[in-house]
Amino acid sequence: MNGFSRARMVVVGLALLGTVLIGRISTAAPSQEVASVQELKAQAAQAIRDGRFARTNELLSRAAELSHSPSDELAAQWTRHFEDQRNQFDVERQKQCDKATGNVKVLLEKGHLDYAIDAARGAYLLAKDKEAFRHEAWIDKLVNDSIERASKYDQNEQWVKSLRIYSDLAAISRPLPSGRTS
């Protein structure tokens, strides 16, 4: 063999070696991609069990982008739709809370304290951050005044009035499980 033939064989050999290596890399990439998609879906499943819906939506969207699988894209679409509905619900709930809080303040201004604590219970139940709502200064004052009124109702044997106030106070003052805000 002359030098030209050897050079050609080396080039052909390198080309074949390159083709084999590229083939291995290209076959490794989809399996890594599949593993990544499976990992994302597993993380999404854990996130949904933990109640972290925004994180679930993010993970499933990334899995759908990587896999282009119709089922993954459908799951991502469903979680996106759920997240949109949940956000709309939060906005509507905040509007209702603001309206209920306004009603409590009107009742306080008019001197209807027993009705104000009833309305405050409703506003509290609508509040997203119940702990912050409960510790607003005007709510603290209303709660303390209601405790005094309920005690006076007890002394005067007005059991129904005191029971109603105590019921409202129990709803507002109930401690939440650790880590919960709503």
Parse the chain into domains and list their residue ranges: 90-182
Sign of CA dihedral 127, 129, 130, 134: negative
Q: Which of 172, 123, 109 is nearest to 143 (CA)?
A: 172
- Contact call for residues 126 and 156 (beta carbons, < 8 A): no
Residues 66-116: pLDDT tens digits? 888 888 888 888 888 888 998 999 999 999 999 999 999 999 999 999 999
pLDDT value of position 47: 82
pLDDT value of position 42: 86
Res. 145 pLDDT band, cuts 50 70 90 = very high
pTM recorded for the entire structure: 0.61
